[in-house]
């Protein structure tokens, strides 16, 4: 979109910060709209747990609401309250169960718990016993993940129980949908279809980000994408159709000239094989640039030879030695001298180094990279839409 407005948080002063974190809300909305188109005729919600995957509920949710998203999923009731603070009319589901003593928060805020065990159902029914009309709830059924949720038999028994309050939503969670060849996904769809037959007339939801792209995702009422909205890969081994949302850049503090045979960083794990120009950048694992992205000196390098990379002056540059709490070193020897100097920025995630590329170099996934982003960056939110 044109005429983007820069919306800056109250985070670190750009003159003082060691790094910049730019969140393109227009790209996020475009991703949600693509997922919504793929989900039709189902409604498309948004998963905004973990502070909208580290990008900020207070900025992400109003933009999604303006784009037409009306249902949101969070992990905890506290997160749900933050969604309600910026989107009071939103329908907000809380995934991580219902805790004893939490009922007043649900009663006062219209949050909807996702119940996933007989114990939670009992707690919820007891809490609602004094009300003329029970508050709405959703049911989570485990169809093959062995995490949260009623067993299929427990859910069928609940559906057959005389007078049992009906949930407003029936959900399950796919365990392997990112792997299009995995047989478990088809088994989960099959089990869930049996459950839908037992809960006739109840809205149903099975598709997470990869599930939206699965051929079996038809006839359901609500999709609930997460990581794909934020630019992550929905499917393994398939070109990512999502637009990048996050750009992370780190400021160069100093350029050092190391000699062949010298070592770099903690543990002396990197020995220079040539005279080397080293860019020391103000970013480390305290900022979410994971130690496992180190160029050497971590167990991951025993199996995956290559560590993380930065991008500057049209070229990728490798991490040298260990990523530390506040500083990371990059080899900029192959760049012209004037191309990297103190005060310049090296891209760590963005248009030139995809989120999942950076994650794989650290032996992890895009989810962890996003949700690990620290609070020392200067954050900019790019958004051209009207706020609700």
Residue with the two structure tokens 């991703």: 31
Q: Which of 260, 266, 306, 341 is catalytic?
A: 266
Cα separation of 209 and 35, whole Å? 8
Cα separation of 336 and 49, whole Å? 43
Cα separation of 31 and 244, whole Å? 9
229 among annotated binding-site residues = no
325 among annotated binding-site residues = yes
Residue with the two structure tokens 């999502």: 242
Examine the residue annotation and report whether 285 is marked as an active-site residue of this protein. Answer: no
Q: How far apart are the first and last CA of the chain?
A: 18
Beta strands in the chain (DSSP E): 5-8, 19-24, 43-44, 46-47, 71-74, 91-94, 112-115, 138-140, 169-171, 203-205, 222-223, 246-258, 263-264, 270-271, 276-281, 309-312, 315-320, 328-331, 345-349, 378-383
Examine the residue annotation and report whether 316 is marked as an active-site residue of this protein. Answer: no
Q: Are 325 and 284 in contact (CB under 8 A)?
A: yes
Q: Which residues contact 383 (CB under 8 A, 6 or more apart)?
A: 4, 5, 7, 25, 26, 59, 63
Q: Which of 49, 249, 285, 377 is catalytic?
A: 49
> Which residues are catalytically annotated?
49, 266
Which residues are documented as binding site for substrate?
Answer: 147, 325
């Amino acid at each position: 979109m044109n005429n983007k407005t820069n919306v800056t948080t109250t985070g670190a002063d750009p003159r003082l910060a060691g790094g910049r974190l730019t969140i393109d809300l227009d790209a996020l909305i475009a991703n949600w709209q693509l997922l919504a188109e793929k989900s039709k005729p189902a409604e498309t919600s948004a998963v905004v747990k973990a502070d909208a995957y580290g990008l900020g509920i207070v900025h992400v949710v109003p933009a999604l609401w303006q784009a037409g998203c009306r249902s949101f999923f969070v992990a905890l009731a506290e997160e749900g309250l933050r969604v309600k603070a910026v989107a009071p009319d939103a329908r907000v589901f809380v995934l991580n169960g219902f805790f004893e003593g939490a009922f007043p928060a649900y009663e006062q805020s219209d949050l909807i718990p996702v119940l996933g065990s007989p114990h939670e159902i009992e707690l919820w029914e007891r809490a609602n016993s004094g009300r003329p009309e029970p508050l709405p709830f959703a049911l989570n059924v485990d169809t093959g993940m062995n995490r949260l949720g009623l067993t299929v038999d427990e859910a069928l028994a609940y559906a057959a129980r005389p007078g049992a309050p009906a949930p407003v939503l029936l959900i399950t969670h796919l365990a392997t949908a990112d792997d299009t060849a995995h047989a478990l996904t088809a088994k989960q769809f099959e089990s869930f279809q049996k459950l839908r037959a037992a809960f006739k007339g109840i809205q149903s939801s099975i598709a997470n980000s990869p599930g939206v792209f699965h051929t079996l995702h038809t006839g359901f009422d609500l999709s609930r994408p997460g990581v794909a909205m934020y630019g992550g890969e929905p499917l393994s081994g398939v070109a990512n159709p999502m637009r990048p949302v996050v750009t992370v850049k780190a400021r160069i503090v100093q350029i050092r000239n190391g000699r062949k045979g010298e070592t770099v960083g903690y543990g002396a794990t990197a020995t220079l094989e040539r005279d080397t120009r080293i860019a020391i950048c103000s970013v480390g694992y305290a900022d979410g640039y994971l130690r496992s992205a180190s160029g050497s000196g971590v167990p991951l390098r025993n199996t995956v030879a290559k560590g993380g990379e930065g991008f500057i002056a049209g070229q990728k540059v490798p991490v040298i030695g260990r990523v530390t709490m506040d500083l990371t070193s990059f080899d900029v020897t192959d760049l012209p001298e004037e191309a990297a100097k103190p005060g310049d920025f090296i891209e760590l995630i963005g248009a030139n180094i995809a989120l999942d590329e950076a994650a794989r170099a650290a032996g992890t996934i895009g989810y962890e990279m996003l949700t690990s982003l620290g609070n020392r960056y200067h954050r900019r939110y790019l958004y051209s839409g009207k706020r609700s």
